[in-house]
Structure 1
Amino acid sequence: MRTCNYISAAVASPPPLIRQWPGRISWRRPSRLQCSATRTRHEDGPDNKGDNRLKQNTGIFHPSIWGDTFLGYSNPAASSQQQMTEREDKLKEEVAEMIASSSTTTAASRLQLIDALERLCLDHLFEEEISAALAQIETADVSGYDPGTVHCGFVYFGNIDTRSRQHMRTHGEVILEEAVLFSQTRLERMIPYMEESSLAREVKSSLEIPLPRRVRIYESKYYISANEKDATLHETVLQLAKLNSNIMQLHHRQELDIITRWWKDIDIESRLPFARDRIVECYLWILGVYYEPCYSRARIILTMNIAIATIVDDIFDSYATPEECELFTKCMESWDSKGARDLPECMKFALEKIFNSYETIENMLRQEGKYRMPYLRYFAKDIVRSYNKEVKMLQEGYIPKSVEEHLKVSMMTSGCPFLSCASLVGMHDIATEECFDWVSSVPKMVQALSVILRLEDDLESDEREWLIPHVASTIDSYMKEHDVSIEVARGQIHVLKEESWKDFNSEWLNTDNNAYPKQILERIFNLTRTMEFMYNQGENFTNCHNLKDTVHSLLLAEPFAIPI
């Protein structure tokens, strides 16, 4: 199956501002726990006294494990930040010379250095130097090089980023298909006989999530420690990696403090006690999309949008009646809460906070960048429309008769078109109006991302959602279409997910997309990587305890000890 073809017919002609497209968007497929005729109407007045739904649904969600940990956090390294920056500048000069040196180092060692810089999240500091070095190395004689170095060179000069290996395969590449199957089989057989080591860890990680699909920042500290233990890096590079990690942690902690204050200021938890407090997990997710300090505003804005989506999700998922969902949707579409007279006070409150938050986001943009807000508001309205349509689907008990029919609609409920647009709002001038037109057309790259998340989500949440009322999944549709067991259906949905990755890879390698800056396309790729992480082997975002170690490593762990 070619999944991107499923929804091409759903993309209509664009009006002057934004290309409209039907379908439902949700930031994840909700379970719709309480969406049924058994829901009680709100009958006790605007003060919510006697609205038992607020109390009844509070226990559905796991409480945050972080509390106010990140509010007003004081990092002991903050006082020496200026010294750290000065030291970093000196180390950057030395590493830049190492990259540029062609007389004292071989092409092989320079390639290996560049590869290490990427895995340590240092490559953004040396973009010009790396480009110049690759231009020199491109014509080098690779005879006598070890296979790993030759392959590393192939990766670079094949216009693929350094982490991409055989898992960047596209449709029809039979040899790579066989290579993946062979490698997986051999590695799985080796694991029981491998002692604990960095190699064993790498093998296990690759089997869980292949290297090109992994999120670099989530693993950066591990690679620093592993390289220090194995003494595989030049000491200057290692010192720079530690220092840069400490500096980024300071930046990220300051941003999370801002985000946490915004969340506390909108006071959602006291008025909507069932709402998920997942602000730390939201920020961690976005940190995987862009970790570089220059994207600070973009991270804050995108985190705010994900948090807003979770608020609306919780309202539709575990509180509002179908009639209230319809009215809430109409208020969002008109971008006006005046028509919300018949809504409970908590839903009126949520509407006002959403509108106020979007004013805050608009104020964060310079005058010349405010054209971005209509794009963002369009997707915000559409995400609510999608939740409302899912409520109606559940009421009707409708199961699409095929996976193809399901994906024409449900891939929109992944929320990926919304996130893709929101990821550009806070970026600098490189995100042009043409980029917003492109992402708002839901191009094939975004379509493939959406299908990947939809299928991954269905695979990880299906068993849990069999226990409660939920919107039909792609697994349900496959079972209905082919009259097979759930085990067979799950296996085929997994196959389809891998086919969707091929669709995505094809678009990533498609030279037609070179019309848009790589920094823009990289956001979409990183969104895809973070989706794989969040939904691989369990719904990590829903089960926030699964993310505790990653959050602690990146944001709470003691800084690396380095001489300043």
Structure 2
Amino acid sequence: MAATFSFRPQEYISSRRSCHTAATAAAPPPRIIRSTSWRWQQHARRRPICRLQCRQQVQQNESDNRPTQNTGIFEPSIWGDFFLGYSNPAASSQQQTKMAERAETLKEQVAEIIATSTRLHERLHIIDALERLCLDHLFEHEIDAALRQIEAVDVGDYDLSTVALWFCLLRRHRYRVSPDVFTRFKDDEGAFPADNPAELLSLYNAAHMRTHGETILDEAILFTTRHLEAMLPYLEGPLAREIKSSLEIPHPRRVRIYESKYYISTYEKDAMAHEKVLELAKVNSNMMQLCHQHELSIITRWWQDIQIESRLPFARDRLVECYLWILGVYFEPSYSRGRIIMTMVIAFVTMMDDIYDSYGSEEECEIFTKCIESWDTKGAHDLPECMKIALEKILDSYQTIANMLNQEEKYRMPYLRYFIEKQARSYNTEVQMRQEGYIPKSIEEHLKLSLITGGCPILACASFVGMHDMATKDCFDWVSTIPKMVQALSIILRIGDDLQSYEREQLIPHVASTIDSYMKEHNVSINVACEKMHIIKEESWKDFNSEWLNPENAYPKQVLERIFNLTRTMEFMYNQGDNFTNCINIKDTIHSLLVEPFLVIM
């Protein structure tokens, strides 16, 4: 299924009266288990109890003392204000100066390694390693120059692993190389006569950069999946772990920064590893961690002010998890402003989601929506105090973001406001549908609304707001149409979320899911509907890859990469479970990336 929808900035979600007529027209990667500090262990033990007590106290203090519908099924975050008081052992100015000086020396040496790598397999391996180690942003010019040369290489005489890495790497960088390079690896019966698990894994990962009509890549996925699953019980060590992770989330769809520290530990044992690359990876990881910790302290302070003043019993207290999500969209230090802005947006969108989904009555949600549309709190006098303050904080946060932009960048804010208003209207329509027990009659009808309420369009726009000159007005005009790339991202999120959340949402009043719509449309069982959802999701990945490789999307690669990375984070959050809701699943990833530094002797 390749669903395509048309969206225009002037188009609005229908009100309750026209709702019916308009409607009809990620298991995370391998977790890094390390020894944790005594302080963090103590904090992790006491935090859930503290959050529960706080929530109970807030609910008792609420003037209307209303029960919330969904809050009881969410685990509280364990982090709270942890990053306000955390002191990184590498945070001294003297240590930071030493790291920066050492990094500059190592960068020169690694650039020389890239320049002197001449054999194809060696060049592919070093570029792939730099990307997995999250060092590629330090060598953009060197990598771009190498890729232009690599594209022109005739790979007719190379082995399957080399060809697969060549194909995958080039497609990841928007080179539309032909899948015909794999034809010679098939036998007369159409199979790939390879029994080496490393080769099969390379082919499996490369094939997941497929687009529609690339039959040989479809066949390669079926073949390699079957054989890798059969081999896995008999394998051990890093290769077994890599195969298991790839079967859950193929490598081109994985979030590099989430796995970077684990990959550093495996690269250390790689026969082709370069000592200087390894050292730079550790130093750079520590430097980025300091940057990320500083950003988290800023965002935590902002979020605490909202929580204290609004006293809203949030269903999901997920500030640190929101930041982790956005860290997957861009981790590089140059995007610090973008991360702060985008984390603020996803945090208050989550707050809006909880208001509409768990807290506000139908009438209150209608008032709240009108206030968002008018961009004014004057009409909020009939709302509970906490919803009034939440509304004020959303508008205040918008102004805070505007103040972070230079004068020549202020034009970006109306685009963000447009999506905030669209988000509120869409949430409100879902409230009305939930109250009426309405189930959209088809997947297409469902997605016209739910791909907005999933939050991907507003996050795609928000990912551009904090970027620098490369995000032009043309980029904002493009993303405001909700183009095919953003539609594919939205469907991947919507289907993934519904597959992982369906059973939990049956326990509470909740708007109908895409699974419900498919069962209603085709009169099939839940098992058949879920199987179809997986197929739709894979077809949407083909849609996404087609748009990624589409030369007509002539926007800077760094801009489009934000949307690709956002799609990858959706896979992580919703592939093997709802990791955003069940935040205990990702605490080790957060601790590894944002708490624990590498020990590096300077």
The TM-score normalised by the length of structure 2 is 0.84
CA distance in 2 between partners of 1:230 and 1:126 (Å): 21
Return the match for 2:116 from 92, 101, 114: 101
CA distance in 2 between partners of 1:430 and 1:111 (Å): 28
Structure 1 unaligned residues grouped into runs of 5+: 13-18, 25-46
**Count of aligned positions:** 527
2:457 and 2:486 in contact (8 A); partners too: yes
Deviation at 1:268, TM superposition (A): 4.5
Partner of 1:16: none
Partner of 1:314: 354
Matches within 5 A, 1:223-372: 223-268=263-308, 271-372=311-412
Partner of 1:387: 427
CA distance in 1 between partners of 2:222 and 2:362 (Å): 47
User: Are 2:561 and 1:522 aligned?
Assistant: yes
What amino acid does structure 1 have at the position aligned with 2:98? Answer: Q
Partner of 2:179: none
Return the match for 2:258 from 202, 213, 218: 218
Deviation at 1:156, TM superposition (A): 4.4
Deviation at 1:562, TM superposition (A): 2.1
Deviation at 1:349, TM superposition (A): 0.8
RMSD between aligned residues: 2.0
User: Are 2:130 and 1:117 aligned?
Assistant: yes
Deviations for 1:254-307, whole angstroms, at most 9, x for unmatched residues? 111111011112235761133532100000000000000000000000000011
CA distance in 1 between partners of 2:531 and 2:350 (Å): 30
Name the % identity: 70
Deviation at 1:177, TM superposition (A): 0.7
Query: Cα distance 1:64–1:444, how it changes in 2: closer, same or farther (>3 A)?
Result: same
What amino acid does structure 1 have at the position aligned with 2:319? Answer: I
Structure 2 unaligned residues grouped into runs of 5+: 15-59, 176-201
| Higher alpha-carbon deviation: 359-368 or 264-273 | 264-273
Query: Cα distance 1:143–1:483, how it changes in 2: closer, same or farther (>3 A)?
Result: closer
Deviation at 1:412, TM superposition (A): 2.0
Partner of 1:410: 450
Deviation at 1:315, TM superposition (A): 1.4
CA distance in 2 between partners of 1:161 and 1:508 (Å): 7
Deviation at 1:160, TM superposition (A): 4.0
CA distance in 2 between partners of 1:70 and 1:199 (Å): 35
CA distance in 2 between partners of 1:498 and 1:556 (Å): 35
Partner of 2:47: none
Deviations for 1:32-67, whole angstroms, at most 9, x for unmatched residues? xxxxxxxxxxxxxxx975411168876453222112
Deviations for 1:195-232, whole angstroms, at most 9, x for unmatched residues? 2x110010000100011110000000001011113454
Matches within 5 A, 1:73-222: 73-79=86-92, 80-101=95-116, 105-140=118-153, 142=155, 145-157=158-170, 160=173, 165-195=206-236, 197-222=237-262
2:171 and 2:209 in contact (8 A); partners too: no
Q: What secondary structure is seen at the aligned counterpart in 2 of 1:233?
A: coil
1:448 and 1:504 in contact (8 A); partners too: yes
Query: Cα distance 1:161–1:458, how it changes in 2: closer, same or farther (>3 A)?
Result: same
Q: What secondary structure is seen at the aligned counterpart in 2 of 1:442?
A: coil
CA distance in 1 between partners of 2:81 and 2:539 (Å): 42
Deviations for 1:314-333, whole angstroms, at most 9, x for unmatched residues? 11222211000000100000
What amino acid does structure 2 have at the position aligned with 1:228? Answer: E
Deviation at 1:106, TM superposition (A): 2.4
Partner of 1:454: 494
The TM-score normalised by the length of structure 1 is 0.90
2:357 and 2:510 in contact (8 A); partners too: no
Deviations for 1:451-474, whole angstroms, at most 9, x for unmatched residues? 111111111111111222211111
Q: What secondary structure is seen at the aligned counterpart in 2 of 1:267?
A: helix
What amino acid does structure 2 have at the position aligned with 1:479? Answer: M
User: Are 2:2 and 1:2 aligned?
Assistant: yes
